[in-house]
Every structure is written in C-alpha cells, then in structure tokens.
Structure 1
Amino acid sequence: MKTTETRLPGVLARAALAAGVAGAALVILAALVSGASAAAGAAVGGVLAIAVFAFGAFAVDAVARLLPAASLLFAMLTYTLQVVVMGLAFVALNRSGLLDSEVDRGWLGGAIILGALVWTAVQLRLATTARIPIYDTTSEVDAR
C-alpha cells in the first residue's frame, strides 16, 4: 500500500480498537471506584456502544463502495436504526431488572458516551488526515 492509498475499514477498525481500549479503561476505573455493578455497567455500555457504531460504520462503508449514490440515504437510515437499537437495548435492560441492582445506570451511560466520543474523534482524525489522491495518475501513464 502506498502512502497515498487509504482503506476505510482500517480507519473503522482503529476507531473500534480505540473505543474498546477506552471502554476497558473505564471498566477498570469503575471497578476500582464503585465496585462490581459499576464495572458491569461500564462493560455493558462499552460493548453496546462499539456494537452499534461498528454495525453502522461498516454497513455504510460497504454501501458507499457498492452504490455511492445511495450512501447518504443509507447513512441516514442507518443512523435512525442505531438510535432505535440503542433505545430498544435500554428498554430491554430496564425491563429485565438488571439496571436495578447488577448494572449501574450511571456507568452504563458514561461508557456509551465515552465510546461514542472516542469512536467519533478517532474516526474523524484518521479520515481527515488520510492521504487520498484527487486524481488517478496510473491511467495517464498507461495511455502514453
């Protein structure tokens, strides 16, 4: 791979890894500060955030490669689906009774917020610093 080439799945994988590392650090911090239920809340929140963001980002990337014209519409629909999935996950956790004793609500929300912020910051940083050529020089060389 040349320095002018970029692969978006690599950017997304690095964003997922960074969010995972931040989530793991938050789980350790929660365990040290507030105990097992806080660590469970941070773990559930971190996994939920990474799962929702990963699904959306990789799905939009796949559609953008296959049908670039439909990528904006698909991105908006995927965002709506992500919000619905996150809401359904909260409803399921609330109805199961896990949020009452075994999973701390505050650490769960904090982990989701941290995961979203880290994922977005890393993906934005990597996407804006990627070297993407504005034109293809290989076809001009082959034509001569």
Structure 2
Amino acid sequence: MLTTETRTHRVVLRAALVAAAAAVLLVVVAALGAGSSAALGAAVGGVIAVGVFAFGSFAVELVSRLMPTASLLFAMLTYTFQVVAMALVFVALNESGLLDDELDSTWVGIAIILGAFVWMTVQIVLATTARIPAFEPRPAAPVEGGAR
C-alpha cells in the first residue's frame, strides 16, 4: 500500500521528470533552429526552472510531513522565494555578461516559461488524480468492555 508521503513524492518526481524532458526537447529544437547559443540558453533556462520548482516542491512536501499546520504558510513563502530566486539568477546572469553573449536570453526565457507551464500542468493533473487524502485518519480507539 502506498502511503501519502510516497504518493506526494511521486507526483513531485514525475512533474520534475516531465519538465526535464520538455527542457531537453526544447534544447534540441533551439539547437536545430537557432544554433548553439540558443541551445545553451534553453539548457540553462531548463535547469533553472526544474531546479527552482523541484527544490520548492520537495521543501513544501517535507514541511507538510513534519509540521502540517505550517504547510500553507511555508508554501506561500516558498513561492515568494522561487520568484526571488529566479530574479536573482537572471540578475547574476545579466551581470556576468553571459546573457546575449554566450546564452540567448530569449531561449532562456522560453525554457523557463515552458518549464513552469509543464511543471504546473503535470503536477495539477497528477495531484488531482492521485487520490491523496487531505488528512490521515486516526486509528479507531478500541471499545472498552469488548464484544457483548
């Protein structure tokens, strides 16, 4: 029997794998269509998207197992952190001079947007069909006095 933890873990893992596969496909399309700069940009964007979303989802999953009452607050903070982390990565790439020199910024953006949409779609579809209970029922307390 699958536990709730295993089911949730599988949803996150599958979303990560499908988003990574979409990123690899986009790298191939970018390489064939626009060259090595575009392919490298798509690869970097894919890594950013999958990395940020995977870290956030696994962190929220861990907190929801350890402290279920704090999971909503932590999920909101994690979302904020994800947005800030992506912005900081873009600033760092821009300041380093890699964007538009070695990395095609358009393909970085396309890969991040594609990764976000694929991740959300897969996670929503899997989460709504996984039959994960909203809570774990407590075992029934034994009846005192036994059977009559």
Contact 1:27 1:40 in 2 (8 A): yes
- Report the 3-state secondary structure (helix = DSSP H, G, I; strand = E; otherwise coil) of the residue aligned with 1:132: coil
**After the TM superposition, which residues 1-144 of structure 1 pair with which residues of structure 2 at under 5 Å, given as runs?**
1=1, 7-132=7-132, 139=139
Report sequence identity in percent.
63
Distance, in Å, in 2 between the alignment partners of 1:115 and 1:3 is 28
**Aligned length in residues:** 144
Deviation, structure 1 residue 2: 5.4
Distance 1:19 1:34 in 2: 21
Secondary structure of the equivalent of 1:101? coil
TM-score, normalization by structure 1: 0.90
CA contact (8 A) 2:30 2:39 kept: yes
Question: Could you tell me how far apart the structure 2 residues matched to 1:5 and 1:65 are?
Answer: 7
The answer as to whether partners of 1:11 and 1:127 remain within 8 angstroms in 2 is yes
Structure 1 unaligned regions, length at least 5 = none
Structure 2 residue matching 1:12: 3-state secondary structure: helix
Superposition deviation, residue 50 in structure 1: 0.4
Cα 1:117/1:126, change in 2 over 3 Å: same
How high is the TM-score relative to the length of structure 2?
0.88
The answer (yes or no) to whether the contact 1:31–1:38 under 8 Å persists in 2 is: yes
Q: 17-26 or 3-12, which moves further after superposition?
A: 3-12
Structure 2 residue matching 1:103: 3-state secondary structure: coil
Instruction: Look up the equivalent residue of 2:84 and give its one-letter code.
Output: V
Q: Deviations over 1:88-107 (max 9, x none)?
A: 10000001111121100111
Mapped to 1, the partners of 2:77 and 2:136 lie a distance apart of 32
Give me the whole-angstrom Cα distance separating, in 2, the residues matched to 1:134 and 1:73. 17
The verdict on how the C-alpha distance between 1:2 and 1:13 changes in structure 2, with shifts beyond 3 A counting, is: closer
2:41/2:108 contact within 8 Å kept: yes
Report the Cα offset of residue 48 of structure 1.
0.2
Distance 1:105 1:131, change over 3 A: same
Amino acid at match of 2:37: S
More helix by share: 1
Structure whose alpha-carbon radius of gyration is higher = 2
